[in-house]
């Protein structure tokens, strides 16, 4: 049962973050840099979370390993939030809306990390580890959905297609899109 839960967590982590991408261009603009920085931060975050969740594989699932993975998720998320909030707004007509969407995502992810921390604290205080696993898994799934929804929102609010084009030109966004499994 624990192995199935750990594998489910790994699968959920693999769903984290995706963006549509696909063409080459040697031109870069401030919007291209913004999109590339966003995707790079997302890739770094996804890789860190995947690594921490992978540490739970192989039947080594106990309170200590869950706490370590949770701490890693928290650290990766805090770094991601700092990185994306530091991006400011892209240089597009809908730049402020894009910044607002990213800031909203950062706030949601911060709340999600708090849920994970609370679940881990409960397990450390004698609560059932299985409850913590369930909460962490569900919260990671929520985080994946929030990220996907925000990236979709960025494309929708960009009436001129500037962000989509920047995502299309970004190597880091292309790499990010390869990680999408759903």
Which two tokens mark 175? 């790499």
The total number of structural domains in the chain stands at: 1
State the Cα–Cα distance between residues 179 and 15, nearest whole angstrom. 7
Among residues 113, 114, 108, 116, which one has the least CA distance to residue 132?
A: 116
CATH number of the domain at 129, please.
1.20.120.330
In a domain, 167, yes or no: yes
Both tokens of residue 74? 């928290």
- Quick check: is 107 in a domain? yes
Which tens digits make up the pLDDT trace of 5-40? 333 333 343 333 333 334 444 457 899 999 999 999
Average pLDDT of the segment spanning 78-94: 92
78: in domain: yes
pTM of the prediction? 0.77
Give the pair of three-digit tokens for residue 84.
Answer: 């994306």
What's the pLDDT tens digit per position in 126-138?
A: 878 888 888 888 8
Above 70 in pLDDT, residue 141? yes
Is 26 inside a domain boundary?
A: no
Could you count the other beta carbons within 10 Å of the beta carbon of residue 56? 23
Cα 47 to the center of its chain, rounded Å: 9
Provide the sign of the torsion angle of the four alpha carbons 168, 109, 152, 141, taken in this order: positive
Say if residues 164 and 155 touch (Cβ distance below 8 Å). yes
The verdict on residue 27 lying in a domain is no
- Domain of residue 12, residue span: 2-16+33-178
């Amino acid at each position: 049962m624990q192995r199935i839960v750990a594998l489910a967590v790994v699968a959920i982590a693999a769903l984290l973050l995706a963006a549509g991408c696909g063409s080459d261009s040697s031109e870069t603009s401030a919007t291209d840099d913004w999109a590339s920085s966003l995707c790079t931060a997302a890739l770094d975050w996804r890789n860190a979370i995947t690594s921490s969740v992978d540490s739970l594989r192989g039947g080594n699932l106990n309170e200590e390993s869950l706490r370590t993975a949770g701490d890693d998720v928290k650290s990766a998320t805090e770094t991601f939030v700092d990185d994306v909030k530091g991006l400011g707004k892209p240089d597009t007509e809908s730049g402020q809306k894009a910044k607002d969407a990213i800031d909203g995502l950062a706030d949601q992810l911060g709340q999600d990390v708090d849920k994970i921390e609370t679940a881990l604290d409960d397990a450390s205080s004698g609560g059932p580890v299985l409850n913590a696993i369930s909460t962490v898994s569900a919260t990671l799934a929520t985080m994946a959905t929030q990220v996907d929804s925000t990236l979709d929102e960025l494309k929708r609010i960009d009436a001129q297609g500037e962000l989509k084009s920047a995502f299309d030109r970004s190597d880091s966004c292309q790499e990010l899109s390869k990680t999408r499994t759903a």
